[in-house]
Structure formats: C-alpha cells, structure tokens
Chain A
C-alpha cells in the first residue's frame, strides 16, 4: 500500500502544478514510512517540503496555502501527532467553505498513518477517525488495500474540500497487490463489497477488512456466506450499501479498531436500527477496540479485534 500511495502522490504532483507535499522528514528521507521516497529528488524541494516539527503550524499554513490556490497534501507522521493540529482542522479547515457561504473550498488533504498492530511505542497506534468524522466539513476516507489507496487518494486531491485520508499503517506492507500503472480517481463516498455473501454482513474498514475477510473464510467453512463490506468512506457513510446489506442479509457485525464509545460502528448500528429495523433478523453487533489508551504493544493483540472475536459475534448474530 505504501508504494501505491507514493505512486499516487507522484501522479498528482505530475498532473497538478499547484499540488505540493509537506510534512516532517518527507523530503530526502522520504517520510518515516517511505511513502514519499524519491519524490523530492524528482519534483524539487519547493514541491516536496520538509517542515519544522509543528503540526498546528504547518497544517495551519496548509490551510492558508489552500486559501490562495495551492493544493497542499500534508503528511502527519503518526496518528496521535495530529492532535496538536486538531484545532486547525476542526475549527478552521472544516469550516472554511461554510464561512464563504459555500462559494470557496479548501483543497487540502491530510494524510494520516494510523492504527495498531505494528509493535509501535505509545501514541503511535491510535485510531482517531471518529473525532474527525464527527466534526462538520471534513471528509474522512480510509483505504484498505493498495488499489483503493491510490484511487481514493487521487479522488481526495480533487474533491475541493478538506479530506482526512487515514492510512492503516499495518497494511502498508501487507496484502500486496498488482495495481494499474495509472490510478483513476475512485468514488469518495462509496463502500465496496470485497466479498459477496447473503447470510451475514461484516462491515469493516482499514486494517480490519483483512480480519473480516479471514473471519468470512472460516464462516464459509461452517456454511455461512458472509458479505464483507469495506466502508472506505467514514464520512459520509455509504448509506445505500449499508441499507442494502441489511436488507439482503438481515444480520450485520461491524468491526473497528478504535475504542467503542461514539465510534463509527455505533453510527452504523444506529443507522441500521433507524432505517432498516424491519429487515433486521438480529441486533447489529460491534467488535471494537476498548475504551482505554491503545495498549503498549505486548498487549495489543489482545485489544485489537481478532478473527476469533469477529467469529464469535458473527455466530451470535447467526444464532439469534
């Protein structure tokens, strides 16, 4: 996935003279995950810019750049280091179009490597998607594989409004995939069915798609055909596909890595019970991270949603 992101970024820089990348250590070093490797050499240090270590400052500066016609794509080094920039994102970026009565937007993409499962130190494994999806004016997008990463990143750069583009870093070097030589822009609001099935739907996103797919394999061995719906868009949710999944399968389990309270899974469950209660054969169940700081890594496997936990929820839904 990380190579696909690098290629999509190169494609954007080549196609759009106003696009530029900024972040910590993204130049010569190519970013701590190497997503921008080689890009500064190719496009110059006016287009691939190493910033001082100041997330509020450079995210704020990116807002100013976007106001005057540039198209900044900002890399935040790790998930939890977006918090210093939180105010700039939620009190400024998300409100800009609204402050112009809909007339002008900020073409701004925030790339945010996020999530656990990489044996990383404290505050390098957070999943803050719910925070951003709760705050008006921001789109939140999470790819799960290389192809979707390239297509959605391209779409994010063209959307004309700020996009929080969250990259499940655990997938950076997993799930290798052949991708097309050129990406075309994906649909920023569409979930994708990554596995067909009519008995039950597993809704997941980011690194949890892989977990859901593995669980679906095991369910198939039991004769349960599980659909896996990769959300991809966290705000807005793909309402049509979620309702279709509910109507088609009647049973839904939502998997998220983030803490449970006020999470995306809760929003999915609320949507289904408000709008598809008549179709449901079982309560919508959530398999989530826990309402505690993401554990130090010796315990992370116990805290992260796992195949057995998803299976247990899926079987409970089937047996309901």
Chain B
C-alpha cells in the first residue's frame, strides 16, 4: 500500500455516488469488468462465498429485527441496512483471537463469531440474555455512548502488545463519533504506544439528522489520521472485497508492530438512523435514490456471478437459508424466561453488597416484612 492510503486497487471513478465524496476510496467492485473478474478469481478459495454468506446473514438479521420491531416483539432498533459489506469484511478479515469493540450499529457482528442470533435480538427486546459472552467471542458488549469504545480497543490492543500476544483489536464507529473527545484521545494514545488497533469509522455521512459538513471541516475523515501519526485509508464501505483488503492490511501492519490504522469506510446511510427515525424530515429522499444502486448485497452478488466464482443458484440457496434461519430465531424470541429483579441485582458486583441483596432491594425491612413501624 502506498503512503497516501491507496493500494493495489484504484480509487472509485468519478461519477460514483457522491462523486468527490468517495474520492481516494479503495474499490474492487468499481474496477473495470476485466480487472474486477481477475481480482475476484484471485481471492483465496471460498473467500468470496464466505463474505457473501456473512453478508446475507447480516442482512437477514437486520430485516428480521426490523420486522420484529414492527410487530412489537423488540423495542427500538438501529438498523444497519447497507453496512453489511464493511461489517462482514471486518470480522472475516481478522482472526478469531482478535477483539472487536462494536457500537449499537454493529449489534450482529458477534453472530459472525458463532454467537446465536437470538442473543443480540434479545438485547433489543430488553432482555439481559441479550448480553453475549464477551470472553468467549472476544467481542466487547456494544457501546451506546458514541466514541467510548475507541479507548477500550486501544487499551485491549495495548495489553496484547505488552504481553506479546500477537492479536489485534478493532473498534467501530461512525462519522459523528470522530467529533467526540474520546475518539481523539484514543487515536492519539494508540499512536503514541503503537497499539495494534484498527479504528474502523464508517462514514455514512449522517449522524441521525446531522450531516457530516456540520460535524467537521475535514470531510475525508481518513486525513485526520495524519494528525496522530498513523496511516489513514479510505475504502468504499459498500465494497466487501475492498473493505476486506484494507482491513486485512491494517491488521497485518498492526501484528507486525506497525501500530494503529484509521480506516474510513465511506458511503451513505441507506436506511433511517433507526426504527424510530424519519429521515425525510431532514434529508432529501432523492439522494437515497442516487445511492440505492450501491446497496452492497446485490452488488456483491452481481460481481461474484459475473466473475464465475459462484452460481446464482448457490447464492440464492445461501440467501434463503439465512432468511429462514432468522425467521425461526424470531419465532423463538419470546421463550426465554425473564430473570427476577433479584437476579439482576446480583449481576452488578462480584460480591453483591447489601443494598443489592434480595431483602434490601425494596423498602427498609419494617415495610417489606410488614412489621409494624416502631412509632405506630
């Protein structure tokens, strides 16, 4: 990869959605037909299918979650429609021993590490069974306060480096999160200590209703990396192959002791911010139409078929299996019994202190035990 962040593949050609907006972003799907076919055929055997399969799973999860929200089975839900490519690539480009630090937007990446889909769905159903096993999957709990997960990834990665363990950490975030102080502190610290960490910022140009121009005067977020002394790379967020390539390069550099990388996966938020959001209030729906062709699953499918890497029937089979699986999961969501408040209280500390013990959770003893207060 060259120092300016462009690599073996050229930038998105002018005329792609957003034009200059995606300038300098690594692409594979945007290559000429022959180059694209060659690239896909040159991938390690089965990789294209695995990426596609991971994307279908993420899509099936997301669509099912939106349906379940409409049915009132789960609460408000932050759809990631359109971010399947970058998310699938982020998990597959890393090793299973690498740690992931997701936000609300990457609620399902843990399912690409074999966590059952029912688990993150339960979280949005407001059930504590939705907290996945952090150590087993090496995926941190999702972070909702924007940018707070960046320093965690830095610390974890720094720990890996101090102990020469050879794994890396990846933190997710959005364009809006780069305005927050924790992003700055994390980037700076990571570079100073050369932590093996990847900051994967998906620039979908919107933070709820706030466009990127109100977020920063540096619309190419990857350029911010220079201020910290680390490489910054732009990649087409809808291009699973380019994302895979860029993230894998960053991970390899980190493993070799080359420190952190800021990866800006640039694109557009194809859906609403979440199920409670109404984008037409704040953005021109015509822009959605311009970007619609970038929808990553269809794009990947077309390229894979065109390159002869997989047959359409095979892809269809993968898709329908994923959707069927998620439908079954949705049907089972209501089955898990709710823990009692006493059990919840017992999960806050290792050694549960008295205010959280069952007999103390409610009002003082005389009220709870229905004893007569001494002065009555």
Contacts and interface: CB of A to CB of B under 8 A. Distances in A.
A-B pairs, top 6 by smallest CB distance, nearest first, are A60-B151, A57-B185, A64-B155, A102-B347, A61-B155, A64-B152
A60 B157 CA distance: 12
A248 interface: no
Interface string B84-102: 0000000000000001010
B154 A64 contact: yes
A218 interface: no
Given A57-B182, A99-B131, A277-B374, A88 B151 contact: yes
A79 to B, nearest CB: 20
B189 interface: yes
A62 interface: yes
Interface residues of B, number: 49
A100 B155 CA distance: 19
Given A64-B153, A161-B350, A277-B374, A56 B181 contact: yes
A277 B375 contact: yes
B278 to A, nearest CB: 27
B98 to A, nearest CB: 11
Contact of A51 (B129, B159, B189): B189
Interface of B: 99, 101, 128-129, 131, 133-135, 140-141, 143, 145, 148, 150-160, 162-163, 169, 181-182, 184-186, 188-189, 192, 344, 346-351, 353-355, 364-365, 374-375
Number of chain A interface residues as a range: 35 or more
Contacts of B184: 57
Given A87-B148, A88-B148, A100-B134, A70 B159 contact: yes
22 contacts: A52-B188, A56-B151, A56-B185, A57-B185, A58-B189, A61-B154, A61-B186, A63-B155, A64-B101, A64-B154, A64-B157, A68-B160, A70-B163, A87-B148, A88-B148, A92-B148, A96-B141, A101-B347, A103-B135, A161-B350, A235-B353, A239-B354
A65 interface: yes
A293 interface: no
Given A63-B155, A235-B353, 8 more contacts: A54-B189, A56-B151, A60-B150, A60-B186, A63-B152, A64-B155, A84-B181, A98-B344
A125 to B, nearest CB: 25
A63 B347 contact: no
Contacts of A105: 349-350
A20 B162 CA distance: 10
* Residue of B145, B150, B350, B365 most packed against chain A (CB within 10 A): B350
A20 B161 CA distance: 14
Interface string A226-238: 0000000001100
Contacts of B349: 97, 105, 137, 139, 161
Nearest to B195: A61
Contacts of A67: 99, 134, 140, 152, 155-156
